[in-house]
Chains A and B, each alone.
Chain A
Amino acid sequence: MSLDKAAVARIAHLARIKVPDEELDHLAGELSRILDFVEQLGEVDTADVAPMASVAAQKLRRRPDEVTDGGYPEAVLKNGPETAEGYFAVPKVVE
């Protein structure tokens, strides 16, 4: 599997990472080599094999639906790069 420059730019956009244009070629080569390396999984017979998402028990624990935490907005906002009036602030989204 070989990725070209345009494909890498598309993936970078999906991942919301700005990648300088001059780095795209090099990255395409690196990512292609990694994809070539994982291609060998095709050799494994996985017919009738269930995919494993995790070794943990798949059945999640339940608990009563009640508030167990919270009530400290200052702590929640403490690390926000920009906050205002009890909220995180971001650049304007709606024109």
Chain B
Amino acid sequence: MSALTRMTMAEALKGLAAREFTAVELTEAHVRAVEAARPLNAFITETPDKALEMARASDARRARGEAGPMDGLPIAVKDLFCTRDVLTTAASHILDGFHPQYESSVTTNLWRDGAVMLGKVNLDEFAMGSANITSYYGDVVNPWSPGDAGAWERRLVPGGSSGGSAAAVAARCALGATGTDTGGSIRQPAAFAGIVGIKPTYGRCSRWGIVAFASSLDQAGPMTRTVRDSAIMLRSMAGFDPKDSTSVDMPVPDFEAALTGDVRGLRVGIPREYRVDGMPAEIEAMWQRGVEWLKAAGAEPVEISLPHTKYALPAYYIVAPAEASSNLARYDGVRYGLRVEGGNLKEMYENTRGAGFGKEVRRRILIGTYVLSAGYYDAYYLKAQKVRTRIKQDFDAAFTRCDVILTPTAPSGAFAIGEKMDDPIQMYLNDVFTVPVNLAGLPGMSLPAGLGADGLPLGLQLIGRPFDEETLFRVGGVLEEAAQFTATPPFMA
């Protein structure tokens, strides 16, 4: 263990600026941590040489007085972001050996601001999953395990799909990591690993160069150990990009400046539909504590209704697979990745895709193909798009009565590897509180609020108006201060 891996991004930036240590020293400590954390299977590709080369360049920039806002900070990159000449897999067999010849816009922004890449982290195959158990490269293990602190067991899932990102940040082998979130893939693993994650408003971060899952829902965002660190990292990741037609041309605020600690008079919506059957009492209690903390800080809780909440998951499981079946049509064995030969072109396609896709991805492509097929399009796809409008209208109405919404992030804490695997629907239900936010394109943040009875972290979710991430940071900062979440996982690098 090294003190250099225990810092927050904000502390590391201060230390670098004060010349207390160099980017190379900070990076070397993290490279060792990445090696020490191999039992978690968080990384698909470690890039220590590239990390040290980037760190040396960072030290040179700082010496010239040209340090950027994230200069010298070692981070992990979800293996869904294309990185030039570095293996990019989406955790799928079908992308075997793919070395992109271009760099995603989000990672380009991070390198522009001086961040250092430690490697590419594991995920659910094509980001489809809520437990990081569908990766071709094996399950990721949560650095947390139940029971008293100290003894780590290889037992729990880290959540998904950004499970490698969450595990790497929680286990102190990266100061932060990029994630992507289509139905909760940043927020749910952040909650399961006791860290902070934010899915920005749709359009805030460019999707260019990120392997596409469901294009109308996908957004990239940061995963870090503090709210302030997420503010620092999101500022670098976000920004207009002409290469993404859905990227929004508006200035990126200084999110750190939103951390004023002042939530007086702010109206906090508490949606009654989020009290779902079978939700553990400790999650209900944590939610109530969150309400009390904000009330004590001068905010005003308001009961709100989001009547179509229960229809978000079924709508999502039509819209997302439909878009996925279209997006994943590109994996045909011709331009990149795996090819399995056949007697003719069609057989080659079928053999390649049959061998290349895992079971969950195959299931979703088939569902998507079916709901888009002739005769079923109106009944399923069009209907789901209309329900999506209803869900958006619910939020629009709620935001006339409140400024931000507070909910639990997930209906449970981290579960065991192997649980919920027999029935896909059981797994899908884990995203019941996060999916509506993607359908409505809103920003959502998860932050650790405390430990459950079994010693595992639980997360609270904040939902904001479109492009109002600043309120999320402001309220998140107050909740973080009140929660005083200082617990650390039993496995740390």
A interface vs B, CB < 8 Å? 3, 8, 11-20, 27, 30-31, 33-35, 37-44, 46, 49-57, 60-61, 63, 72, 75-76, 78-82, 88, 90-93
Q: Of all chain B residues, which has the CB nearest A3?
A: B370
With contacts A18-B354, A82-B339 taken as known, whether A54 is within 8 angstroms of B216 at the C-beta atoms is: yes
Interface CB pairs A-B, < 8 A, 18: A3-B370, A15-B369, A31-B363, A31-B366, A33-B424, A35-B370, A37-B425, A46-B386, A52-B388, A52-B392, A54-B215, A60-B245, A61-B242, A79-B337, A80-B335, A81-B337, A91-B341, A92-B344
Supply 19 further A-B pairs (C-beta < 8 A) apart from A38-B384, A40-B310.
A14-B373, A16-B329, A17-B350, A17-B353, A17-B354, A17-B357, A46-B387, A49-B390, A53-B385, A56-B245, A72-B101, A79-B98, A79-B336, A80-B334, A81-B338, A90-B334, A91-B343, A92-B345, A93-B344
Binds A, one of B167-175, B273-281, B314-322: B314-322
Q: Which residues of B contact A55 (CB under 8 A)?
A: 202-203, 216, 392, 440-441, 466
The minimal Cβ–Cβ distance linking B29 to chain A, given in whole angstroms, is 34
Across the interface, which residues of B come within 8 angstroms of A63, CB to CB?
242
Beyond A38-B318, A88-B334, whether A27 also contacts B366 by CB under 8 A is: yes
B336 touches A11 (CB 8 A): no
Say whether, besides A33-B424, A41-B311, A56-B246, A90 and B362 are in contact (CB < 8 Å): no
Cα distance A13–B365 when bound, in Å? 12
A90: chain B residues within 8 A (beta carbon): 334, 345, 348
Q: Which residue of A lies closest to B88 (CB)?
A: A79
The residues in B between 319 and 375 inclusive whose CB is less than 8 angstroms from any CB of A are 325, 329, 332-339, 341-346, 348-351, 353-355, 357, 362-363, 365-367, 369-370, 373
B380: CB under 8 A from chain A?
yes
Name the interface size band of chain B.
35 or more
- The contact of B363 among A30, A79, A81, by CB within 8 Å, is A30
The verdict on A19 contacting B363 (CB below 8 Å), with A30-B424, A46-B390 known, is no
In the complex the two chains form, what is the Cα distance from A50 to B387 in whole Å? 9
Instruction: Give every chain B residue within 8 A of A80 (Cβ-Cβ).
Output: 334-336
Q: How far is the CA of A19 from the CA of B363 in the complex (A)?
A: 11
